Amino acid sequence: MSVAGFQAHSRMEELFTVLFEVLMEGIFSTIVLAPVGFVYLYLRHRSRMQARRVLIKEYESSYANAGLVVVWKVVAAVGILLVLALLLTVVL
């Protein structure tokens, strides 16, 4: 393969990598984070108007942003619990 052919192949590979990352991020956001954010807001605030106000004010009108916050809080809590469990097993 010539240098020009290699560069073209490299550029195409880079393009497909970026497209795949963007698509996967969008799909994950739509399929996982948005429903989590929707359920969280409506369970927490019970009132549709209040949930909508919080969504607009705190999460930039994005259920995916609300879901991301919830998922990160859960991941952080699980991480802390795992570290504490590890510390307890080492000490005891």
Looking at 1-92, which runs of residues are DSSP E strands? none
62 Cβ neighbours under 8 A, 6+ residues apart: 34, 37, 55
pTM over 0.75, yes/no = no
9 Cβ neighbours under 8 A, 6+ residues apart: 1
What is the per-residue pLDDT across 61-87, written as a single tens digit (0 to 9) for each?
Answer: 999 999 999 999 999 999 999 999 999
Report how many domains make up the chain.
1
Domain span holding position 27: 3-91
Distance CA(33)–CA(24), nearest Å, equals: 12
30 close to 63: Cβ distance less than 8 angstroms:
no
